[in-house]
């Protein structure tokens, strides 16, 4: 068995090495056809071609290629601002023409050619409110006119004539992907086998022998002496890679286009179009849950509860989070994850999502109603009967990854009182932020105004998406598995976990019961609690555990050698009524 495990480890390392190698193996060649396909606007294409010598050249580095794209976009924007922007001389002319009271008709001094007419139009759009206003000094008028000119440059000229930051971000990715040439682009199916195929086979060869080598039951096996599992050098290296991966995925996707190209054949098969970066992410995410789910089942095979729970997260991730949304796209329907709930699904109420659902007839309306019903009815109903475990440990994709890929690191969660205090403030602060952000988004959707108390709702949702949706949930939430345990996001940041937890704390039948007389204070329960709960403290005192943060994973019960801890649904007659106990094997013990 050791030989098989060694072969498996070598195969996994080989597949992973090829995966990393593909990041650096492509060359890039930008052509006129690619510009036509990706940009489309002839004026912008002509400006771009004048701004760079990149067209037709073969570039051997993605970093060099992207740098040249950045330089070209910046040069185009600079030229457009010089061409269409209102100059300081023109502002000075307006100031001289308007002493005391501003008359908007004086903008005719800009001239009558096409560019001057554009200046007049944009000035009316952004500075029309100045017409008829009186100013105490020429300096005050000059400042107001300068502000209008700057806003035109920032919001109108760049967006309409040049390339705004959102367009640049998307174009850098799409142009880089389309311009890629090399072995991966020529034969992506081969590289699927050489990367994911080798990794999957290698991982299974490493995991499956545990069925024979390791008897059922949980053993510490020196986890606190492990370089991987106890924040050692290997764990830090793994965490660093995950953090870097998420940073590139969310903020610099143009550098990972070779990885995306690798899964193009699978994307074509499922949804009939090329893969995007989030298709790649969903594919890797699902593979991690499936492969590490097998490990989870083998490790906890003495517990029926853990086996059923692991199969559940594997099913929901594969079917509801990955396959069904992609197949919906193939049928020309909206992309929709039926198990994702606001505020975890923070963009559910974004205008583009609402417009897409409303425009797709009966199915779109059903999706909208389904999502709202889950928020208002589904969460309190299921939490009342089953606690937050029904979602966090049985359905949620974040929880599914934490319970499978993150399981080896659950002992690294901070159990201190200080961590608990920080957790309570942070997770509820994120929930409040999500509510405020969504309120602003809906206000803009129904009124058309993006300004609320001087703050742009678009800026608020952009900040939330970058710092919470990408930075916290992705970069920190997963990248910190080997450093702070597998539920960092669930403990400190998930707004849905906070919502579920509030209901669980005050209106739920779920709790973990304890039998203090049987506790031997071994500490296994606290060690393996991924949510940082000091379970032993409750067990020693025979106190039931009713914590809003508990996700009901049941591992504390599974690792208890004395059967002290049991998952329980209470009798409907009272909060601490006659218990229904569920043992480590998932079988009802008493009623």
The whole-angstrom separation of Cα 295 and Cα 219 is: 15
Question: 549-566: per-residue pLDDT in tens?
Answer: 999 999 998 888 888 988
State the pLDDT at residue 568.
67
432 with 515, same domain: the answer is no
The whole-angstrom separation of Cα 521 and Cα 572 is: 32
Whether 50 is in a domain gets the answer yes
The vertex-485 CA angle with 347 and 276, nearest 5°, equals 40
Question: 349-387: per-residue pLDDT in tens?
Answer: 999 999 999 999 999 999 999 999 999 999 999 999 999
Lookup result for tokens 């709930």? 341
- CB of 558 within 8 A of CB of 302? yes
305 with 397, same domain: the answer is yes
Of 461, 490, 508, the last residue of a domain is: 508
278 with 166, same domain: the answer is no
The number of domains in the chain is 4
Question: 32-83: per-residue pLDDT in tens?
Answer: 999 999 998 898 999 999 999 999 999 999 999 999 999 999 999 999 998 8
293 with 194, same domain: the answer is no
Q: Is 300 exposed, middle or buried (0-12, 13-18, 19+ CB in 10 A)?
A: buried
The whole-angstrom separation of Cα 395 and Cα 399 is: 8
193 with 246, same domain: the answer is no
What mean pLDDT comes out for the span 448-467?
88
124 with 230, same domain: the answer is no
If pLDDT is split at 50, 70 and 90, which confidence band does 586 have?
very low
- Taking each helix axis from N to C terminus, what angle separates 138-151 and 114-127, rounded to the nearest 10 degrees? 110
Whether 588 is in a domain gets the answer no
State the pLDDT at residue 516.
72
Of 508, 539, 571, the last residue of a domain is: 508
The whole-angstrom separation of Cα 436 and Cα 343 is: 11
504 with 514, same domain: the answer is no
Whether 587 is in a domain gets the answer no
Sheet containing 58-59: give its strands across.
Answer: 58-59, 27-29, 180-181
Whether 34 is in a domain gets the answer no
Phi, psi for residue 302 in degrees, rounded to 5: -80, -10
Whether 450 is in a domain gets the answer yes
222 with 153, same domain: the answer is no
State the pLDDT at residue 567.
81
Whether 343 is in a domain gets the answer yes
Question: 275-295: per-residue pLDDT in tens?
Answer: 999 999 999 999 999 999 999
Whether 309 is in a domain gets the answer yes
Of 491, 508, 525, the last residue of a domain is: 508
State the pLDDT at residue 581.
40
pTM of the predicted model as reported, rounded to 2 decimal places: 0.89
277 with 323, same domain: the answer is yes
Domain containing 12: what range?
1-26+185-213
Does residue 572 carry a pLDDT above 80? no
What mean pLDDT comes out for the span 300-322?
94
264 with 340, same domain: the answer is yes
How many Cβ atoms from other residues are within 10 Å of residue 196's Cβ?
20
75 with 199, same domain: the answer is no
Find the range with the poorest average confidence among 65-69, 218-222, 482-486, 538-542. 218-222
174 with 246, same domain: the answer is no
Whether 451 is in a domain gets the answer yes
State the pLDDT at residue 578.
41
């Amino acid at each position: 068995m050791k030989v098989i495990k060694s072969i498996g480890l070598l195969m996994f390392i080989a597949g992973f090495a090829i995966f990393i190698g593909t990041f650096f193996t492509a060359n890039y060649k930008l052509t006129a056809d690619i510009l036509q396909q990706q940009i489309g606007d002839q004026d912008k294409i002509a400006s771009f071609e004048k701004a760079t010598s990149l067209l037709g050249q073969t570039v051997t580095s993605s970093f060099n290629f992207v740098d040249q794209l950045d330089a070209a976009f910046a040069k185009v924007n600079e030229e457009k601002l010089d061409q269409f922007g209102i100059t300081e001389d023109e502002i000075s002319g307006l100031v001289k023409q308007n002493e005391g009271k501003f008359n908007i008709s004086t903008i005719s001094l800009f001239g009558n050619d096409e560019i001057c007419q554009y200046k007049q139009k944009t000035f009316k759009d952004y500075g029309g409110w100045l017409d008829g206003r009186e100013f105490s000094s020429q300096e005050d008028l000059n400042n107001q006119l300068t502000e209008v000119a700057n806003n035109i440059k920032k919001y109108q000229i760049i967006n309409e004539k040049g390339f705004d930051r959102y367009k640049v971000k998307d174009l850098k990715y799409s142009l880089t992907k389309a311009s890629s040439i090399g072995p991966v682009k020529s034969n992506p199916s081969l590289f699927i086998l050489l990367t994911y195929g080798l990794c999957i086979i290698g991982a299974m060869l490493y995991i499956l022998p545990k069925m024979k080598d390791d008897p059922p039951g949980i053993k510490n096996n020196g986890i606190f002496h492990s370089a991987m599992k106890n924040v050692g050098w290997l764990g830090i290296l793994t965490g660093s890679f995950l953090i870097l991966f998420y940073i590139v995925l969310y903020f610099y996707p143009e550098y990972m286009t070779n990885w995306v190209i690798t899964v193009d054949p699978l994307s074509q098969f499922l949804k009939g179009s090329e893969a995007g970066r989030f298709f790649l992410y969903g594919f890797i995410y699902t593979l991690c849950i499936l492969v590490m789910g097998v490990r989870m089942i083998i490790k906890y095979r003495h517990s029926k509860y853990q086996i059923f729970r692991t199969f559940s997260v594997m099913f929901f991730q594969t079917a509801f989070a990955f396959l069904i949304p992609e197949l919906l796209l193939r049928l020309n329907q909206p992309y929709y994850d039926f198990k994702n709930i606001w505020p975890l699904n923070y963009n559910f109420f974004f205008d583009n999502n609402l417009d897409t659902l409303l425009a797709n007839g009966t199915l779109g309306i059903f999706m909208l109603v389904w999502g709202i019903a889950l928020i208002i009815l589904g969460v309190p109903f299921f939490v009342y009967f089953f606690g937050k475990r029904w979602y966090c440990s049985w359905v949620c994709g974040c929880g599914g990854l934490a319970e499978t890929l993150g399981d080896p690191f659950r002992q690294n969660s901070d159990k201190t009182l200080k961590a608990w205090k920080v957790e309570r403030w942070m997770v509820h602060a994120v929930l409040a932020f999500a509510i405020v952000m969504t309120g602003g988004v809906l206000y803009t959707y129904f009124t058309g105004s993006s300004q609320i108390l001087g703050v742009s709702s678009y800026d608020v949702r952009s900040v939330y998406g970058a710092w919470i949706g990408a930075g916290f949930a992705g970069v920190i939430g997963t990248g910190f598995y080997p450093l702070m345990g597998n539920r960092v996001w669930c403990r400190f940041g998930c707004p849905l976990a906070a919502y579920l937890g509030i209901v669980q704390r005050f209106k739920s039948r779920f709790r973990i019961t304890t039998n203090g007389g049987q506790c031997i204070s071994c500490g296994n329960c606290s060690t393996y609690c991924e949510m940082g709960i000091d379970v032993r403290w409750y067990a020693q005192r025979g106190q039931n555990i009713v914590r809003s943060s508990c996700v009901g994973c049941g591992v504390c019960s599974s690792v208890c050698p004395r059967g002290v801890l049991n998952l329980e649904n209470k009798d409907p007659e009272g909060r601490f009524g006659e218990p229904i106990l569920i043992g480590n094997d998932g079988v009802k013990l008493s009623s």
